Amino acid sequence: MMLNLVPFVSVDHMMKLVHHIGIDRVLIDLAAEIEADFLRWPEFDKTPRVASHSDVGVIELMPTSDGETYGFKYVNGHPDNMKRGLQTVTAFGLLADVATGYPLLLSEMTILTALRTAATSAMAAKWLAPKGSTTMALIGNGAQAEFQALAFRAICGIREVRLYDIDPAATAKCVKNLAGRGLTVTPCRTAEEAIMGAQIITTVTADKQYATILTDNMVGSGVHINGVGGDCPGKTELHRDILLRSSIFVEYPPQTRVEGEIQQLPEDHPVTELWQVMAGQIPGRSSADQVTLFDSVGFAIEDFSALRYVRSKLAETGLGTMLDMIADPDDPRDLFGMLLRAA
């Protein structure tokens, strides 16, 4: 492969790749890739995402490197986009060779982010949720909901999802999309109804505000909470009192303390990094009545894992377009001469 030609995975190619491999297999594979990278967490260059906030949303860059490969994702979050017929979240990502700085892959990541977010949630629940969990409440039935439901079925063995959204049309959409996918799907009229009998509660709402999707009296002992929607400053879903009686697990504390549910707590409130549970350094769930919370905000290593997975599948699937995006003069010092010869 010529170094100036970079494989690009378009939205169309990403969808074809998922269908070629199968969505369950992709979710399982992504969870395995992310878990493998979490197990080598100390090898990564880690930094909180670089965010540009506005009154209507946020635009972020999420970089990391393992010393051999560098990766970043560009992602936005604009809750009001839905009113304009636009996606709340869009993204693209890039991998590059650390030794040369040359890009190795450019890819859409709107679909891939939905897949890796769901895979990460289910991976965390595998370590933290009550053993034998069969039922999940899914509060917030927007663009991420079906991915979460399918990931928890494929990876954790969930058999029933109980759905609630303030917009009944979103719930109806989710019921339709999940039909025939091996799940009992129960639409509910309230969040309280949705969490009845659920061992896992997933909150994945989009509004950029301090919201209280779950109040303290709604959450009984022994459940696992997968908090996905609280993912930027000023945006939360859980009442503070829930946090105070939960064992809290996070990806990268310097980022989560600014963006996650724990932005409601003092800086010194104890949390556990998820990779340490996976590495056997710190216990995860330790009792049947423990409330565990995965305060998920999304971290760059998860995107890095997802991009490397996609790159590894390009030869097998035959997907991707080669882009001529790096100037490649015959003499590296004669970039101007290359420009002149193109006249």
pLDDT in tens, 250-260: 999 999 999 99
Region 50-72 average pLDDT: 94
Claim to verify: residue 313 and residue 271 sit in the same structural domain: no
Concerning whether 37 is annotated as a catalytic residue, the answer is no
Catalytic residue among 231, 324, 331, 334: 231
Closest of 158, 135, 115 to residue 17, by C-alpha: 115
- pLDDT at position 4: 80
**Is residue 136 in a domain?**
yes
Q: Which pLDDT score, from 0 to 100, does residue 1 have?
A: 43
Q: Which domain holds residue 231?
A: 119-298
Considering the domain architecture, whether residues 129 and 219 belong to the same structural domain is answered as yes
Same domain for 262 and 152?
yes
Residues 6+ apart with CB under 8 A from 256: 250, 262, 271, 295, 297
| Mean of pLDDT values over 15-44 | 98
For residue 51, tell me if it sits in a domain: yes
pTM of the model: 0.94
C-alpha closest to that of 224 among 310, 289, 297, 272: 289
Q: In this structure, is residue 269 part of a structural domain?
A: yes
Q: Is residue 101 located within the same domain as residue 123?
A: no
Domain shared by 84 and 71, yes or no = yes
| CATH number for the domain that contains residue 218 | 3.40.50.720
| 20 pLDDT higher than 60 | yes
